[in-house]
Amino acid sequence: MQYISTRGSAPALDFESAVLAGLASDGGLYVPAELPQFDRATIASFAGMNYPQLAFAVMRPFVAGALNDAELRCLIEASYADFRHPATAPLVQLDHNLWLLELFHGPTLAFKDFALQFLGRLLDLILQRRGQRAVIMGATSGDTGSAAIEGCRRCANADIFILHPHQRISAVQRRQMTTVRADNVHNIAVRGSFDDCQNIVKASFADSSFLPADRQLVAVNSINWARIMAQIVYYFYAAVALGVGQREIAFAVPTGNFGDMFAGYLAHRMGLPVARLVVATNANDILHRCFSANDYSLQPPEPTLSPSMDIMISSNFERLLFDLYDRDAVKVADLMAGFKRDGKLSLSDTAMHRLRALFASQRLADSEMLEVIAEQHRQTGYLLDPHSAIGVAAGRHYQAQAVDLPMVCLATAHPAKFPQAAAEAGLAEAAALPPHLSDLLERAERYEVLDCDTAQIQAYIAERLCAAV
Ligand SMILES: *Cc1c(COP(=O)(O)O)cnc(C)c1O
């Protein structure tokens, strides 16, 4: 399968090259040139498959020509073997017609494991085959870093460097990264903010001459197509488990960079009978403003109790724009240039109309989110993490004002990852870490604190690369 850029002037790439490239050379994002289609009979035939079997069926057309069946099967089996629930992505019923899809049974307790466990192994296979070594570099304000490290720690062909803002992430989040013992894993605490970390990473991708010529720099953030691809699977999994076919279904998704929600959109485009996608945001609500009032404009960041959704610009929204404008790359490049210049963009009437035919949106302030956590716990004894609580609230809100569709809310993190929210909801005792992490706070840490200085950090990285084999 070929992959094309949303801005139209980068070359089309095959799957392997699209995964290694991350961002396209024209600044756009790679999307599949055409989407595989699953008809109702095929979707019905998915009933009874376990998660790895379904993942194989859904991902196979996307990797055609790049991975053979045995390779894909092997990657999938290994990626989901460490998940701590036999169903991998279990459904829990919260109410009449309301379900929670628990996506936090992976090694780092967040849904990002679904994509990064797969991507780490995929990269290693691609690099091995090419006889190439890579450097993976990323900035994190929390969940991405630990999921990326867990996914890439066994990569024989890559070194991974994750930058986090020194003393500005939680102890649990830091320790999930810094207690990993692997020679190719490097944590750098930058004396600065998350944006500073992000800027150093961006500058490094723009000019990677600090690395030896034989090392390619690879991005594992959600602009990487393979991450989106792996996330399409659980939308099918949930829908099939609920007997979709007889009826349509809706999803509510706590959203930051729009990667997870875009995967749901693709499931719909591939033939899954999804009647509604509800985008749930916290106070950083650029998407809610866009979906409800055609106002996609930058506003100052606001720290919240759901930090993994504290995002100013939702990078993957560009992939949706591409479709809303009939895959007109010139138009998308134009819109994105305008956004870069003015800090805002507005959609045409046709695009807004299409958007609203499928999507709804909802914004929740911290205080409302805390009420949802407390109320859900009171009603059912179930403890939601702050991100998942925002999704549940949005799902309920939509159900109350529209037809009573079966609603699946995505639970993106384990409540123990965000003990502050549980405490503020009056439920501190309820959020214990699962057994495999219960000694996390006693394990030895390894990380370097460096000044916010691009050249110094690049030199540090260049000195620590594992030798080529
Ligand atoms: C990353 C993350 C999100 C947001 O996902 P996007 O794909 O960026 O929209 C939501 N919840 C949690 C817990 C996350 O880690």
Q: Taking the domains of the chain in order of start, what are their residue ranges?
A: 85-110+226-430
DSSP 110: B
Give the residue-averaged pLDDT of 15-22.
94
- Residue 113 amino acid letter: D
pLDDT at residue number 143? 82
Containing 98, the helix (H) or strand (E) segment is strand 98-102
Q: Is the CB of 307 under 6 A from ligand 1?
A: no
Query: Of the spans 134-138, 415-419, 462-466, which averages the highest pLDDT?
Result: 134-138
3-state secondary structure labels for all residues of 376-391:
HHHHHCCCCCHHHHHH
Buried b / exposed e over 268-303, threshold 16 CB at 10 Å, is bebbbebebbbbbbbbbbbbbbbbbebbbeeeeeee
Compute, in angstroms, the gap from residue 222 CA to the centroid of ligand 1. Answer: 10
Neighbours of 259 (CB within 10 A): 23
Which residue reads 């993190």 in tokens?
413
Choice from 29, 111, 194 to test ligand 1 binding pocket (greatest atom count within 8 A of CB): 111
Roughly what angle, to the nearest 10 degrees, separates helices 225-241 and 112-130? 130
Q: What CATH class is the domain 85-110+226-430?
A: alpha beta
State pLDDT tens for residues 375-433: 999 999 999 999 999 999 999 999 998 777 999 999 999 999 888 899 999 998 778 88
**Encoding tokens for residue 402?**
């529209």
- Split at pLDDT 50, 70, 90, the class of 201 is very high
- Given a contact cutoff of 8 angstroms between Cβ atoms, the answer to whether 443 and 459 are in contact is no
Q: For residues 112 and 259, what is the distance between their CA atoms, to the nearest angstrom?
A: 10
Compute, in angstroms, the gap from residue 262 CA to the centroid of ligand 1. Answer: 12
Q: Which of 103-112, 273-282, 301-310 has the lowest mean pLDDT?
A: 301-310
Index of the ligand 1 atom closest to the CA of residue 413: 13
What residues are labeled active site? Answer: 112
Is pTM beyond 0.75? Reply is yes
At 229 the three-state DSSP class reads: helix
Which residue reads 């919260």 in tokens?
94
Q: For residues 155 and 182, what is the distance between their CA atoms, to the nearest angstrom?
A: 10
Buried b / exposed e over 356-389, threshold 16 CB at 10 Å, is eeebbbbbbebeebbebbbebbeeeebbbbbbbb
Compute, in angstroms, the gap from residue 466 CA to the centroid of ligand 1. Answer: 31
